[in-house]
Amino acid sequence: MEFLMKTIAIGIDLGATKIAAALVDETGDVLFSRTLATIPEEGAAPVLDRIATLANELSQEAQQLSQNLLGIGIGSPGMIDPVAGTVHNAVNLGWQDVCLAEELKSRLRQPLPVWVQKDGNASAIGEYIFGAAQGCSDFLYLSIGTGLGGGLFAGGQLITGANWNATELGHISLDPLGRACVCGLKGCAETVLSGDGLVALFKTLGRSGANSVTPGITPASIILDARKNDPLALATLAEMGRQLGIVIAFCAAVTNPSLVVIGGGLGMAVFDLVIPRTRMELKTRVLPASWENLQIIPSQQKSSAVGAASLAWYYSERR
């Protein structure tokens, strides 16, 4: 895929805890970055004001460079209508229906195009343009962090679904009698494949008999203990890898990707610890044609905002 030379874009990764923004060039390098707390409990308007503050600051930085500012890409949780630029049912933000693109445009000092996508889709586009999936037309992106998100390319096209809810993989119920999820279901994949899920699983397995060497339990402490060969930590990450294998098996059977990219802070941190078990589980659940040539590799994105910025190149090429 070829793009105009000497172009830059603003990327904004909207999360429930923080808003990460970056000015990104056409190679995927971050030129400037800014971060603000989201504070969603204050309501949508203050959050939109903070997004605009970051966008205006980076737009001003862009004016100092002799490059073409394509516009602003935003990755957001929720169900996203990318044509209208609206966010629906973003539970972690407390947003039901917010016209994000238009609200931001009304707050910008400089008129700019604004593209909005689901955060997992934005990250998948970032991998396609700048990261681990360059040149790959059929791949799955999975992000493991505070939750489990994803994005899917098939035939070189992003798959968004009938009502923009494709690859909502964190809320596949793997155990309908399992732990309650914030979405209202039970046993969702992200009740294990997430930071809170990892800690909860560790505690559950600990009550079954094994003891941990760490009194204060966090995802970081579990990973550290696993690297010290603590049996409980290793068992916890093995189960995490097993359930990741189940999720990938579903996707492999339906979409037959040639590549799976694992991203997210937690996903990157545990990659080498869980993927061997993931591969084992995958082999027990789908035909060899679905896994024999399937690569599973870590993300190559340099910032959570790079995927959001990549929307500018992806959509400007499709006008």
Q: What is the pLDDT along the chain (319 residues), one digit of tens a residue?
A: 444 447 999 999 998 889 999 999 999 999 999 999 999 999 999 999 999 999 999 999 999 887 899 999 999 999 999 999 999 988 889 999 999 999 999 999 999 999 999 999 999 999 999 999 999 999 999 999 988 999 999 999 999 999 898 999 999 999 999 999 988 899 999 999 999 999 999 999 987 555 554 557 999 999 999 999 999 999 999 999 999 999 999 999 999 999 999 999 999 999 999 999 999 999 999 999 999 999 999 999 888 899 999 999 999 876 5
Q: What are phi and psi of 181, to 5 degrees?
A: -105, 155
CA atoms within 13 A on the CB side of 307: 29
Distances (CA, A) of 3 to 70, 88, 120, 314: 11, 31, 23, 9
pLDDT at residue 157 in the model = 93
**Spatial contact of 112 and 69, defined as CB atoms under 8 Å apart:** yes
pLDDT at residue 3 in the model = 46
Three-class SS of the chain: CCCCCCEEEEEEEECCCEEEEEEEECCCCEEEEEEEECCHHHCHHHHHHHHHHHHHHHHHHHHCCCCEEEEEEEEECCEEECCCCEEEEEHHHCEEEECHHHHHHCCCCCCCCEEEEEHHHHHHHHHHHCCCCCCCCCEEEEEECCCEEEEEEECCEECCCCCCCCCCHHHCECCCCCCECCCCCECEHHHCCCHHHHHHHHHHHHHCCCCCCCCCCCHHHHHHHHHCCCHHHHHHHHHHHHHHHHHHHHHHHHHCCCEEEEECHHHHHHHHHHHHHHHHHHHHHCCHHHHCCCEEEECCCCCHHHHHHHHHHHHHCCC
Determine the topology of domain 139-298 in CATH: Nucleotidyltransferase; domain 5 (3.30.420)
- What residues contact residue 284 under an 8 Å CB cut-off, 6+ apart? none
The domain covering 7-118+303-316 belongs, at the CATH homologous superfamily level, to: ATPase, nucleotide binding domain (3.30.420.40)
pLDDT at residue 303 in the model = 85
pLDDT at residue 79 in the model = 92
pLDDT at residue 207 in the model = 79
Distance CA 87, CA 101 (A): 9
Q: Which two tokens stand for residue 300?
A: 């190559």
Residues in a beta bridge with 249: none
Q: Which two tokens stand for residue 42?
A: 């204050």
pLDDT at residue 4 in the model = 44
β 148-154/139-144 pair status: antiparallel
Distance CA 78, CA 46 (A): 18
- Give the residue extent of every domain in the chain: 7-118+303-316, 139-298
